[in-house]
Structure 1
Amino acid sequence: MIKWLARPVDYLPVWQDMQAYTSLRDADTPDEIWLCEHTPVYTLGQAGLPQHVLNPGNIPIVHCDRGGQVTYHGPGQVMAYALFDLRRADMYVKEYVALLESAVIDTLEQAGVRGACRKPGAPGVYVPDPAGGELAKIAALGIKIRNGRAYHGVSLNVAMDLAPFLGINPCGYEGLRTVDMAACGVRRTPTEAGDALALNLARAWQHRRSTI
Structure 2
Amino acid sequence: MSLRLRLRRRGRVDYAACLADMQSFTDQRGADTPDALWLVEHLPVFTLGLAGKPEHVLDAGDIPVVRCDRGGQVTYHGPGQVVLYALLDLNRAGLGVKALVTTLEQAVIDLLAGLDIAAERHPGAPGVYVAGAKIAALGLRVRRGCCYHGLSLNVAMDLAPFARINPCGYAGLAVTQLRDLAPAATDPVQIGERLAAQLAALLGQPLVAGN
Q: SS in structure 2 opposite 1:183? A: helix
- Aligned residue for 1:51? 55
Which consecutive residues of structure 1, in runs of 5 or more, have no partner in the other structure? 129-134, 208-212
Amino acid at match of 1:165: F
Match of 1:137 among 118, 134, 139: 134
Q: How many residues align?
A: 200
Q: Work out whether 1:106 is the aligned partner of 2:103.
A: no
Q: Work out whether 1:124 is the aligned partner of 2:127.
A: yes
Amino acid at match of 2:148: Y
Amino acid at match of 1:108: L
Which consecutive residues of structure 2, in runs of 5 or more, have no partner in the other structure? 1-5, 206-211
Q: CA RMSD in A?
A: 1.2
Question: Which deviates further from its counterpart, 176-185 or 154-163?
Answer: 176-185
Give the 4+ runs in structure 1 shifted more than 2 A: 185-188
Contact 2:46 2:64 in 1 (8 A): yes
TM-score, normalization by structure 1? 0.92
Q: Work out whether 1:155 is the aligned partner of 2:152.
A: yes
Higher strand share: 2
Match of 1:191 among 174, 189, 192: 189
Distance in 1 (alpha carbons) for counterparts of 2:186 and 2:17: 27
Q: SS in structure 2 opposite 1:105? A: helix
- Aligned residue for 2:23? 19
Match of 2:7 among 2, 25, 36: 2
Amino acid at match of 2:10: L
Question: Which deviates further from its counterpart, 147-156 or 177-186?
Answer: 177-186
Q: C-alpha displacement at 1:183, in angstroms?
A: 1.3
Distance in 2 (alpha carbons) for counterparts of 1:88 and 1:81: 18
Q: C-alpha displacement at 1:111, in angstroms?
A: 2.4
Distance in 2 (alpha carbons) for counterparts of 1:13 and 1:205: 27
Q: SS in structure 1 opposite 2:114? A: helix
Distance in 2 (alpha carbons) for counterparts of 1:159 and 1:6: 15
